[in-house]
Amino acid sequence: MGDGTTTSVLLIGELLKQAEKYLADGTHPRVLVDGFDAAKTLVIDLLERFKQSPADLANDREVLCNVCRTALATKLRPELANQLTEIVTDAVLTIRRKGSQIDLHMVEIMHMQHKMDTDTRLVKGLVLDHGARHPEMPKRVKNALILTCNVSLEYEKSEVTAGFYYKNAEERERMVAAERKFVDDKVRQLVAFSKEVCTPENGATLVVVNMKGIDPISLDMLQKAGILALRRAKRRNMERLTLACGGAQVNSFDDLTPDVLGKADEVYEVSLGEEKYTFIEGLANPFSCTILVKGQNPHTVNQVKDAIRDGLRAVKNAIEDESVVPGAGAFEIAAHHFLMRAAGAEHTEAYPNIKGRVKLGVRCFAEAILVVPRTLAENSGFDVLDTMLKLQEKFAQDTTRPVGLDLYTGEACAPDLLGIYDNYRVKRAVVHLSTVLASQLLLVDELMRAGRGSRPTGGGGGDDMGGMEE
């Protein structure tokens, strides 16, 4: 999801695991919960000092790529992660507008079960999952003028029950022509507009993307006029189309002007089995784009799509935070060191003075937060105990520099120099969420006892409820 779900689950489980040791010795859960709250406050304060805010982060593509690569590298093999890093970062930078929030819905994720996952690519335009319905319409168009419309171009039967009577074939033909006249007039308006904007001098071709239907007779008229027409486009694509190509949507052909047209260098159709896809590429200033995911089987496609969603959120968060946090477990190592000193016997100006039984909860939190670098070491195949000791000793030598775990060597590294970054808001949310949920789970028995004491006793219903609680 890109919001620290996995880290939250790990931290909550480790908080409960560490708390179990104290609870077995008779410590009351409320004492530990108070310590968790104190530790959470200290860790959030440390995070504010630990984060880094590079100058003009929103336009620093290299840092944003590093943030995205950190998110993707835990879910995909390195070759594919590095390729998708460029794609995902460029996609977010494409849809970003100054002065407004980033809307990730403007990145369309299309998938085609075709070729290999390394063939996934970014289309700075749109990929529509349908093609032209007329077999003789052009399959590839250069220098296209895009008209997005929501106008019905098909004959619709009257909803009123009525009878039509005619004496001969001529009257029937006139009646049919009169019924078609309303639709045909709209098609003729479109053809006349095409002749006006598409001249031999500019070599342009009109491409009509209609949200409603186009009947076969209208399609044939448009094809003879050299117009490429797509019908029944999805609403989400219609909204993205004007952002990608420019222009404006129209609901009538009465007053068409050239300024409602968008522009694209190329529009072409690709057939894959029975499916047809229409690519609209070569846009001047798009604010919408498409990531075309390819893979040899549904499992691969789903895995790549999940990783892309995670990467999109990571880049978006970094731009909006305007700050990043060194990754590779560096923040957790620093938080453990800070909390243990704060809950220790010696106190200095750098470490606040935690007194009384609250120390137990703070120490419990300090041990639990190390689950992140411990899990990294375990998943990488290194000895967890030796690795943790090396990282803690390295950080104790210079507490002003972040120290993380190099997953390739098992040694300590400087994550900010290697470009390993996490999201600030994700780290902050993980600490908040994990503390609250772990506290609620520890206090659940106390809350149930309090609720049971206030409930009226007696009667079969009360006994049944009590049995359910037990």
Average pLDDT score over residue span 437-465: 63
Of 203 and 9, the structure prediction assigns the larger pLDDT to 9
Residue 90 has pLDDT above 80, yes or no: yes
Beta strand pairing call for 205-210 and 140-149: parallel
110 neighbors 127 (Cβ within 8 angstroms): yes
Task: State how far the Cα of 409 lies from the Cα of 120, in Å rounded to an integer.
Answer: 30
pLDDT band at 470 (very low <50, low <70, confident <90, very high): very low
Cα–Cα distance, 231 to 12 (Å, whole number)? 51
Cα gap 55→63, rounded to integer Å? 11
**Residue type at 120 in one-letter notation:** T
The mean pLDDT of the chain is 78
Query: What is the structure's pLDDT at 389?
Result: 86
Mean pLDDT across the stretch 432-458? 71
Among 35-39, 54-58, 341-345, whose mean pLDDT is lowest? 341-345
Poorest-pLDDT segment among 3-17, 67-81, 241-255? 241-255
The Cα–Cα gap between 324 and 54 comes to 8
Task: Assess whether pLDDT exceeds 70 at residue 466.
Answer: no
What are the C-alpha distances in Å from 186 to residues 152, 222, 256, 397?
9, 11, 11, 79
State the helix-helix crossing angle for 29-50 and 424-454, rounded to 10 degrees. Answer: 160
pLDDT band at 451 (very low <50, low <70, confident <90, very high): low
pLDDT tens figures, 325-364: 887 888 888 888 888 877 764 544 455 566 677 778 888 8
* Three-state secondary structure readout of the chain: CCCCHHHHHHHHHHHHHHHHHHHHCCCCHHHHHHHHHHHHHHHHHHHHHHCECCCCHHHCHHHHHHHHHHHHHCCCCHHHHHHHHHHHHHHHHHHCCCCCCCCHHHEEEEEEECCCHHHCEEECCEEECCCCCCCCCCCEEEEEEEEEECCCECCCCCCCCCCCCCCCHHHHHHHHHHHHHHHHHHHHHHHHHHHHHCCCCCCCEEEEEECCCECHHHHHHHHHCCCEEECCCCHHHHHHHHHHHCCCCECCCCCCCHHHCEEEEEEEEEEECCEEEEEEECCCCCCCEEEEEEECCHHHHHHHHHHHHHHHHHHHHHHHHCCEEECCCHHHHHHHHHHHHHCCCCCCCCCCCCCCCHHHHHHHHHHHCCHHHHHHHHHCCCCHHHHHHHHHHHHHHCCCCCCEECCCCCCEECHHHHCCEEEHHHHHHHHHHHHHHHHHHHHHHHHHHHHHHHCCCCHHHHHHHHHHHC
Cα atoms found within 13 Å of the Cα of residue 374, Cβ hemisphere only: 11
Q: Mind listing the pLDDT tens digit for each residue in 159-198?
A: 566 666 767 777 667 766 666 677 777 888 888 887 887 7
- Would you state the pLDDT for residue 404? 83
pLDDT at 467: 42
133 CB-contact burial (10 Å; exposed 0-12 / middle 13-18 / buried 19+): middle
Tens digit of pLDDT for each residue in 219-237?
A: 888 778 777 888 888 877 7
CA atoms within 13 A on the CB side of 253: 21
Statement: residue 411 has pLDDT above 50:
yes
Q: Say yes or no to pLDDT of 440 above 80.
A: yes
Q: What is the pLDDT, as a whole number, of residue 207? A: 82
Find the angle CA(91)-CA(126)-CA(320) to the nearest 5 degrees.
Answer: 25
Average pLDDT on 210-222 reads 80
Residue linked to tokens 């027409």:
229
Per-residue pLDDT at 3 = 62
Per-residue confidence (pLDDT) for residue 465, from 0 to 100: 41
All structural domains of the chain with their residue ranges: 5-52+324-447, 126-154+168-285
CATH of 5-52+324-447, one of 3.90.79.10, 3.10.20.30, 1.10.645.10, 1.10.560.10: 1.10.560.10
Among the ranges 114-118, 166-170, 286-290, 387-391, which has the highest mean pLDDT value? 387-391
Tokens of 393: 């000793």
Long-range contacts of 199-202 (CB under 8 A, 24+ apart): 202/143
Residue 258 has pLDDT above 70, yes or no: yes
Q: Confidence band (pLDDT; 50, 70, 90) for 461?
A: very low
Average pLDDT value for residue range 73-99: 82
Which residues, listed in sequence order, are joined to residue 295 by a DSSP beta bridge?
A: 113
Cα separation values, 292 from 77, 277, 295, Å: 19, 11, 10
% of the chain with per-residue pLDDT over 90: 0
Going by C-alpha positions, the residue among 345, 355, 348, 372 that lies closest to residue 35 is 355
| CATH of 126-154+168-285 given 3.40.50.300, 2.60.40.1760, 3.50.7.10, 3.60.20.10 | 3.50.7.10
- In the predicted model, what is the mean pLDDT of residues 12-17? 86
Residue 413 has pLDDT above 50, yes or no: yes
